[in-house]
Structure 1
């Protein structure tokens, strides 16, 4: 882990006027306020062809660079819009470029933005993907339903939702490196016989 936690946010929306991107940036602003360095990965700016495990580096676009950014992060905020009840394909493709070695032990905050009702299934799908990569998802994700009413003029209009997103950003900093601390505690207990 870095001396100052480094948090990246990945927005899984390609829309120009994306509520997901606004929410991820809000979480990153809170992480900066909690003394972390941050980087917002806007997938519109990355060349990420559909993942093909047989493709060579020349055919993988920016996939290896994205995986390196993920590997260097102490914590991550993943945000996805809800498409057909699940994770948006840009975020899924980005995650497909990451291996367990890139994600294992990393603290991850998740959020989902839905045009309609509460996006619980999407949060569960995103949490399952994080767990498969052996990441450490925070217990509480953030669900943002009715996105048409949740955002206004480039910010989160609902104060309660904004507070939950900010808390997510602060929590990824507070729990950054939690897997390393757990491992250190277990090793210490083994050494002392506790």
Structure 2
């Protein structure tokens, strides 16, 4: 693990009163409490046109800068609202700007906020995207169903959800750089013949 890991959070909601943004920030606060430096990437503030692999850098808005921020992070918290059972398009577009080189080996905490029931498909879709980018998603995700009851006055209202979100934030710090440590251990075993 880096001495002071850097953790970014990406909120995939553009709503002003976003429960996703609240939850991601809460996870980042827990990560900071665990010793990390943190930065919240609020996609409302980024110019991210729909990804076009043929577009020039000049036509890609803030896409190259976003990819650079992801590349520099030791760990990430990705949060998405659930739209039609899957990842919200702002977060999907943000991930489209990232390459394997930007994400590979990065520890990733995943959370999804649903207006209705448990967001299992959305969590699976986001995990699959992280794995395709060779990221290292934490084994536990955070699901926040029934968001209408989970948030109140700009905060998380449910103590159990608070605990899970804080655990996610602390876990991304504890596991930052774990993919590199595993690779080093495997190389050491090969070198020693164990």
TM-score by length of 2: 0.99
**Which residue number in structure 2 is paired with residue 175 of structure 1?**
175
- Residue by residue over 1:155-189, the C-alpha shift from the partner in whole angstroms, topping out at 9 and shown as x without a partner, is 10000011000000000000000110001101111
Unaligned stretches of 5+ residues in structure 1: none
Over aligned residues, Cα RMSD in angstroms? 0.7
1:97 paired with 2:97, answer yes
**Which residue number in structure 1 is paired with residue 8 of structure 2?**
8
**Which residue number in structure 1 is paired with residue 152 of structure 2?**
152
Separation in structure 2 between the aligned mates of residue 59 and residue 107 of structure 1, nearest angstrom: 30
Give the deviation of 1:190 after TM superposition. Answer: 1.3
Q: Aligned residues, how many?
A: 194
1:120 paired with 2:120, answer yes
User: In the alignment, is the contact (CA less than 8 A) between 2:2 and 2:177 conserved in 1?
Assistant: no
Unaligned stretches of 5+ residues in structure 2: none
**Which residue number in structure 1 is paired with residue 48 of structure 2?**
48
Give the deviation of 1:127 after TM superposition. Answer: 0.2
TM-score by length of 1: 0.99
Separation in structure 2 between the aligned mates of residue 137 and residue 47 of structure 1, nearest angstrom: 26
Give the deviation of 1:3 after TM superposition. Answer: 2.9
- Deviation beyond 6 Å, 4+ runs, structure 1: none
1:39 paired with 2:39, answer yes
